């Protein structure tokens, strides 16, 4: 929080300092900062939390992978603050901070606009403000909030994002307005982590059922840190459901899987790959669309060692699409 104080406007700086909020830890409970999965040991700086040293990030995440562009996603509790205005103030500060401390430092860096999830109106305003800086290529929301993401209350966010050709980046995690599973609160972080991929099925069911892609036909969403191999089972069940229950959501013109292949992208970290090569091959065939996968290092999270970021056995042309083409098509601003 300390680092954000200079980026608050005069009113909010005075307000925050009076309340001592800069001393509070607003890290997301959904992403425990020191859990092994969130800190690769060789990516931890000598001082401070992983990912907080921009020079180290450029050296490790960019130089290390010979990256052309890297999109910075700030996972922070600012998005989850109950007071909408305080949430918006912190999100504005985060966006200005990432521009100054990261984007200005290295021309390869890009960022997502962090928005207050629980006020669509304020979120739309922040999108409009920050979209002027074309180094912001995406809007960032958390996977689990107070309402399913497809609900009409969120539509001002999608409207603003579509207007500026910004995909919605939906990152694994939760503001924990609700338990992360529909059975209630699990005991262990491992359970929460595994629950993120399950939760994305609910996200897609919401976005598609509510008709978000009918209302916003140019909108794309990117599921980040969702796992990958859960996708075919979701497609089959979603399509089966639609064939029988279509009349409840009559604005859908095609199957859920068809909407997903057109509008939904997934980062490949973690992949949750199967143990056998033939299983991987089959899962890729079941996904049935080479355009969906986007490369991610997920720096500084620990899903692999060295630069061994992709599962073995991916066909060469798919690899090329994952590394380059799919991202360029998904993020039009990368080509500006």
Partner 1 sequence: MNVTVLDRQPDTDTQSQLGFVDCDVHPYTKSPSDLDPFLPERWREHRRTIGARSRSAFSAAPNYPRMSPGTGMRTDSWPADGSHPGSDLDLMRAQLLDAFGVAYGMMMPLLGRGGDERNVEFGAALCAAANDWQAALWCDREPRLKASVQITTEYTEAAIREIEKRAGDRRFTQVMIPPRGLEPLGRRRYWPILEACAANGFPIALHLGGTSGHPSTGGGHPSFYHEEHPSYPQSKEALVTSLVIEGVFEHIPNLRVVLVEGGFAWLPSLSWRLDKHFQRLRAEVPHLKKLPSEYIRDHIWVSTQPIEEPERPQDLLATFEWIGWDRIMFSTDYPHWDQDDPRYAIKVPIPEVEKQKLFRGNALAFYGLD
Partner 2 sequence: MPRHVVATVDEIAPGTCKIVSVAGREIGVFNVDRTFYALINRCPHEGAPLCRGPILGRFESDHPGEYRLTRIGEMLRCPWHGWEFDIKTGQSWCHPDSVKARSYPVTVLDGETLAKGPFVAETVAVTVERNYVVLEL
Q: Which is nearer to partner 2, 211 or 300 (CB)?
A: 211
Closest CA to 195 of 30, 310, 34: 30
Reduce the DSSP state of residue 331 to 3 states and report it. coil
Contact flag: residue 211 with partner 2 (CB under 8 A): yes
The string of DSSP letters for 71-135 reads: EE----GGGG-SSHHHHHHHHHHHHHHHIIIIITT-TTEEEEEE--TT-HHHHHHHHHHHTTSTT
Contact flag: residue 36 with partner 1 (CB under 8 A): yes
Q: Which residues contact 309 (CB under 8 A, 6 or more apart)?
A: 65, 268, 269, 295, 296, 297, 303
Taking CB under 8 A as the binding criterion, the range among 42-50, 61-69, 129-137, 244-252 that sits at the site for partner 1 is 244-252
Q: Give me the 55-94 binding string for partner 1, x by CB under 8 A, dash otherwise.
A: ----------------------------------------
Which residues, 238 to 297, sit near partner 2 by CB under 8 A?
242-247, 250-251, 255
Q: From the list 18, 46, 66, 247, which residue makes contact with partner 1 (rule: CB under 8 A)?
A: 247
Q: Which is nearer to partner 2, 143 or 210 (CB)?
A: 210
Q: Count the site residues for partner 2 by CB under 8 A.
A: 14
Contact flag: residue 20 with partner 1 (CB under 8 A): no
Reduce the DSSP state of residue 173 to 3 states and report it. strand
Looking at residue 65, the DSSP 8-state letter turns out to be: G
Q: From the list 236, 315, 319, 320, which residue makes contact with partner 1 (rule: CB under 8 A)?
A: 236
Residue 157: CB minimum distance to partner 2, A: 16
Q: From the list 19, 23, 68, 152, which residue makes contact with partner 2 (rule: CB under 8 A)?
A: 152
Q: Which residues contact 310 (CB under 8 A, 6 or more apart)?
A: 268, 271, 295, 319, 322
Taking CB under 8 A as the binding criterion, the range among 69-77, 129-137, 195-203, 216-224 that sits at the site for partner 1 is 195-203
Residue 244: CB minimum distance to partner 2, A: 4
Count of Cβ atoms closer than 10 Å to residue 127 Cβ: 23
Q: Sign (positive/negative) of CA torsion 321, 323, 328, 331?
A: positive
Q: Count the site residues for partner 1 by CB under 8 A.
A: 74
The CA distance from 168 to 113, in Å, is 9
Catalog residues that contact partner 2 under the rule CB under 8 A. Answer: 152, 210-211, 214-215, 242-247, 250-251, 255
């Amino acid at each position: 929080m300390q680092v954000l104080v200079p980026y608050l406007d005069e009113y909010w700086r005075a307000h925050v300092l009076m309340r001592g909020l800069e001393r509070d830890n607003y890290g997301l409970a959904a992403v425990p900062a020191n859990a092994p999965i969130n800190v690769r040991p060789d990516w931890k700086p000598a001082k401070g939390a992983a990912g907080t040293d921009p020079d180290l990030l450029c050296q490790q995440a960019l130089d290390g992978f010979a990256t052309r562009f890297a999109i910075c996603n700030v996972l922070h509790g600012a998005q989850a603050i109950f007071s909408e205005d305080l949430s918006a103030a912190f999100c504005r500060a985060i966006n200005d901070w990432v521009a100054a401390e990261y984007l200005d430092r290295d021309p390869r860096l890009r960022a997502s606009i962090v928005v207050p999830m629980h006020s669509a109106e304020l979120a739309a305003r922040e999108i409009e403000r920050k979209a002027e800086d074309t180094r912001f290529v995406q809007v960032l929301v958390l996977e689990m909030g107070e309402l399913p993401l497809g609900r009409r209350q969120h539509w001002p966010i999608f409207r603003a994002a579509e207007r500026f050709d910004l995909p919605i980046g939906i990152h694994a995690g939760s503001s924990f307005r609700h338990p992360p599973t529909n059975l209630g609160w699990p005991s262990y972080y491992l359970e929460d982590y595994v629950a993120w991929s399950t939760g994305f099925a609910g996200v897609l069911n919401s976005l598609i059922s509510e008709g978000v892609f009918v209302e916003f036909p140019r909108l794309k969403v990117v599921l980040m840190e969702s796992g990958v191999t859960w996708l075919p089972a979701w497609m089959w069940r979603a399509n089966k459901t639609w064939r029988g229950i279509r009349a409840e959501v009559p604005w859908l013109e095609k199957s859920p899987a068809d909407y997903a292949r057109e509008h939904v992208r997934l980062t490949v970290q973690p992949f949750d790959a199967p143990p056998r090569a033939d299983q991987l091959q089959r899962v890729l065939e079941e996904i049935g669309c080479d355009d969906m996968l986007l490369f991610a290092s997920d720096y500084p999270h620990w899903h692999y060692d060295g630069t061994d970021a992709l599962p073995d056995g991916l066909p060469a042309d798919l690899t090329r699409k994952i590394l380059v083409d799919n991202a360029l098509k998904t993020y039009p601003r990368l080509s500006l």
